[in-house]
Amino acid sequence: MNVEAINLRKGLALLDTGQTVEIDTFIDEEGDECSYETARAFILELPDGTWLSDSVDSYANATIH
């Protein structure tokens, strides 16, 4: 399973399976927990029980009209 997109404001990640999962923790540039506004990375639990962390910079901004 891979994360295809993230919505920081809602704290959700869209997986390549079409499922959405909640982002468990946001991490700032100093490695501390933070709000989504200052997040540089995130951690989430995948449906199979494994954990995934990734950089916010790995995802491009998109606007949906």
Mean of the per-residue pLDDT values of the chain: 95
Q: Enter the tokens of residue 27.
A: 């991490």
pLDDT-above-70 percentage for the chain: 98
Cα distance between residue 26 and residue 54, in whole Å: 10
10: pLDDT strictly greater than 90: yes
When pLDDT is averaged across residues 22-31 and rounded to a whole number, the result is 97
Neighbours of 36 (CB within 10 A): 15
63: pLDDT strictly greater than 80: no
β-pairing, 3-7 with 20-27?
unpaired
With vertex at residue 58, the alpha carbon angle to CA 39 and CA 36, rounded to the nearest 5 degrees, is 15
Cα distance between residue 28 and residue 38, in whole Å: 6
CB 20 within 8 A of CB 38: no
